[in-house]
Amino acid sequence: MKKASTNKSTTFSDGLKEGKINKCRRIRGWLHEALRSHFSLNADWVQNHIANCPKCQRRFSSVSRVNLALSLIKSQPHKLDLLMRANTQAIGVLKHSLREAPKAQKLKAMQPEPKLLEICSIHKHSAANVAACIAILFLMKTGIFSFTDTVQTQGQKAVKQYYINQVGEDLASDIFHG
């Protein structure tokens, strides 16, 4: 009896805990949302303040200059054979057995290759379009078949009802169920 009551109390306390956790999660979500809407760079009061504050404007422009410089550095291309040359130079100072390894020969002729994700990202839009088309076709097909089934069953029911009304239930059941 005692055991049952303790079990009940534990489940009750667990439920309370879960409820609290869920409540916490919800409150955290609201807080996050509220903070984001009030304190993000796109908030109206922030935009208005920046438009009228020369100090903030200066800060903003200097940060954007750093970002511009970073993106300029990133966009600067190097020669395609740089990896090959770097590998050759690095392998040249390693010990003889490593220099002569077949992998080393491969590395000496290695060229930078785009990652699988980068390759896939080129075909991302077309893949999404194909997937969307397939999904639409599938939905259409399912919809059409279910619609035909519904029409068939409804039709059968209507005809059966008609026969029941006209010739009686026994004869109608004989006709429809053989």
Partner 1 sequence: MFGQAVTYGRVLEFAISETIDKSQQWILSAMQRHGPELVTMLWRILGNEQDVCDAYQNTFLQLAHYQNRQKPKHIKAYIFRTASNVAVSMLRHRIAERERLSITIVPKKLISSPANEFDSKCLQETLRCCIARLPEYLRNVITLRDLAELSYTQIGRMLGISAATARVYRCKAIQLLSVWMSKKEREIQ
Among 16, 86, 122, 144, binds partner 1 (CB under 8 A): 86
Among 65, 124, 141, 157, binds partner 1 (CB under 8 A): 65
Asked if residue 82 binds partner 1 (CB under 8 A), the reply is yes
3-state secondary structure the chain: CHHHHHHHHHHHHHHHHHHHHHHHHHHHHHHHHHHHHHHCCCCHHHHHHHHHCHHHHHHHHHHHHHHHHHHHHHHCCCCCCHHHHHHHHHHHCCCHHHHCCHHHHHHHCCCCCCCHHHHHHHCHHHHHHHHHHHHHHHHHHHHHHHHHHHHHHHHHHHHHHHHHHHHCHHHHHHHHHC
Cβ 52 to partner 1 shortest distance, Å: 20
Distance CA 146, CA 153 (A): 11
Cβ 26 to partner 1 shortest distance, Å: 23
Asked if residue 59 binds partner 1 (CB under 8 A), the reply is yes
Among 46, 87, 160, 163, binds partner 1 (CB under 8 A): 87
Cβ 65 to partner 1 shortest distance, Å: 6
Cβ 30 to partner 1 shortest distance, Å: 21
Among 68, 122, 131, 140, binds partner 1 (CB under 8 A): 68
List contacts with partner 1 (CB under 8 A).
58-59, 62-63, 65-70, 72-74, 76, 78-79, 82-83, 85-87, 89-95, 97-98, 101, 103-104, 106-107, 110, 112-113
